[in-house]
């Protein structure tokens, strides 16, 4: 143990971390993992402070054109009752968030790119801007879209976009997705580049503990985020869903607690690697540990997403099984998370959009004085 402890401390003292350094951090257990997470918390305080920013989550629709092997919303899953929220339901959730001073929203959906869907999101963004006096940060998590669509939504008021790469290993990507043009690794990477080019605060993320995944894969994921200059990250443990093809590999998975602890290490190592980004404490953490989201915050996360989706839809938006809080309404969720965050000595950034400090807006060449 002493040797590993020395290795972890040595890595944490480095200015530049290599893949092997990250593997050392991700393998840390017990006291060594605590050292890593304590350093991550220190760096978080120094770079982004002790505020936790609420992103009101609206799970707009579970209709999806994709057939990803890990996801309960995959189009081939006929056990799902499909839905799309009515406009007024969305706007009621927006009003609630605005009145409660959340200052940020996330609109999440299955992946659809039809003209009708694109125009619907555009119209909702414009209405949200009117309701909130254009004061709220709006994150979209709507999958791969054309560059033109991304620009249209950016012009309509979206400020952030979350597109999880799920894994940065192309071979592993092919094992967890169908092998066709609709599930192409290079297109996903290209879409991340388009997000930067259209001036979004760009988010990504991965699942931790997938079948066939190695610690080296996870270390490469962290370097992928750094090399692609990502502004915000959402990572969570892989939790299987019985209506997906990957479920057949459940016996080869590491235990849920291992996946949970490795996710905490991923959060902490990422905070060490990229101290000024935003990192979300995912709901999936709470699916494994009742205090999972709080532990993620203590390990370096600074964003949390209270669910604003009407309770009648929550049971049908299951990317994975045993999702917590599906029987709560928005106000119950808010009060619960508020209490949890205050109990661990953090503040809630009410009225603050909590933009990523890593994000640097694109500057139009027309504004540069020669």
Q: What is the DSSP string of 169-196?
A: -HHHHHHSS-SSGGG-HHHHHHHHHHHH
What pLDDT is attached to residue 326?
Answer: 81
pTM for the predicted model, two decimal places: 0.95
Question: What is the arithmetic mean of pLDDT over 75-83?
Answer: 97
Angle subtended by helix axes 87-99 and 330-343, to nearest 10: 30
Separation CA 206–CA 149 (nearest Å) = 24
Res 2 pLDDT > 80: no
What pLDDT is attached to residue 14?
Answer: 94
* Helices (H), ranges, 100-175: 115-131, 147-156, 170-175
Separation CA 135–CA 102 (nearest Å) = 11
β-partners of residue 207 are 236
Res 81 pLDDT > 60: yes
What pLDDT is attached to residue 324?
Answer: 85
What pLDDT is attached to residue 61?
Answer: 98
Q: How many CB atoms lie within 10 A of CB 155?
A: 12
26-30, 225-229, 293-297, 323-327: lowest mean pLDDT where?
A: 323-327
pLDDT tens profile 145-198: 999 999 999 999 999 999 999 999 999 999 999 999 999 999 999 999 999 999
- From residue 204, give the alpha-carbon distance in Å to each of 101, 195, 225, 325: 25, 11, 8, 24
Res 59 pLDDT > 70: yes
In 95-222, at which residue ranges do the beta strands (DSSP E only) sit? 104-109, 137-141, 160-162, 201-204, 207-208
Separation CA 294–CA 316 (nearest Å) = 26
Q: State whether residue 345 is helix, strand or coil.
A: coil
Percentage with pLDDT > 70 across the chain: 96
What pLDDT is attached to residue 116?
Answer: 98
Q: Residues 10, 269: contact at Cβ < 8 Å?
A: no
Smallest CA-to-CA distance from 199 within 145, 159, 233 is with 159
Res 140 pLDDT > 70: yes
Separation CA 61–CA 207 (nearest Å) = 22
Separation CA 347–CA 355 (nearest Å) = 16
Res 328 pLDDT > 90: no
Q: How many CB atoms lie within 10 A of CB 151?
A: 16
- Pairing type for strands 201-204 and 160-162 reads parallel
The pair phi, psi for residue 62, each rounded to 5°, is -105, 15
Separation CA 102–CA 169 (nearest Å) = 36
- pLDDT band at 366, cuts 50/70/90? very low
Q: For 362, what's the count of Cα atoms within 13 Å in the CB-facing half-sphere?
A: 14
Separation CA 225–CA 231 (nearest Å) = 9
């Amino acid at each position: 143990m002493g040797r590993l402890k020395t290795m972890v401390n040595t890595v944490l003292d480095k200015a530049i971390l290599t893949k092997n350094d990250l593997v050392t951090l991700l393998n840390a257990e017990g006291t060594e993992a605590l050292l890593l997470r304590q350093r991550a918390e220190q760096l978080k305080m120094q770079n982004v402070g002790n505020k936790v920013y609420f992103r009101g989550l609206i799970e707009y629709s579970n209709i999806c054109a994709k057939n990803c092997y890990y996801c309960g919303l995959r189009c081939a899953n006929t056990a799902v009752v499909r839905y799309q929220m009515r406009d007024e339901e969305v706007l009621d959730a927006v009003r609630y968030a605005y009145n409660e001073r959340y200052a940020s929203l996330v609109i999440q959906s299955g992946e659809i790119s039809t003209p009708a869907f694109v125009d619907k999101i555009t119209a909702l963004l414009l209405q949200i801007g009117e309701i909130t006096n254009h004061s709220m940060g709006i994150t979209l998590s709507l999958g791969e879209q054309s560059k033109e669509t991304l620009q249209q939504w950016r012009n309509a008021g979206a400020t952030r976009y979350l597109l999880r790469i799920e894994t940065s290993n192309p071979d592993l990507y092919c094992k967890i997705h169908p092998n066709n043009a609709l599930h192409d690794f290079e297109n996903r990477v290209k879409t991340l580049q388009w997000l930067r080019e259209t001036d979004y605060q760009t988010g990504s993320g991965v699942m931790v503990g997938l079948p066939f995944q190695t610690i080296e894969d996870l270390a490469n994921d962290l370097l992928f985020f750094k090399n692609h200059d990502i502004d915000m990250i959402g990572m969570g443990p892989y939790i299987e869903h019985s209506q997906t093809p990957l479920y057949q590999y459940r016996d080869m998975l590491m235990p849920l607690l291992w996946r949970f602890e490795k996710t905490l290490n991923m959060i902490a190592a990422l905070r060490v690697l990229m101290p000024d980004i935003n990192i979300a404490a995912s709901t999936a953490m709470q699916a494994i540990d009742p205090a999972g989201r709080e532990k993620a915050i203590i390990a370096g996360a600074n964003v949390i997403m209270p669910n604003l989706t009407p309770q009648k839809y929550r049971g049908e938006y299951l990317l994975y099984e045993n999702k917590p809080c599906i029987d709560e309404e928005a106000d119950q969720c808010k009060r619960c998370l508020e209490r949890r965050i205050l109990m661990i000595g953090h503040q809630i950034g009410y009225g603050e959009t909590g933009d990523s400090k890593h994000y640097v807006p694109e500057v139009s060449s027309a504004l540069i004085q020669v």
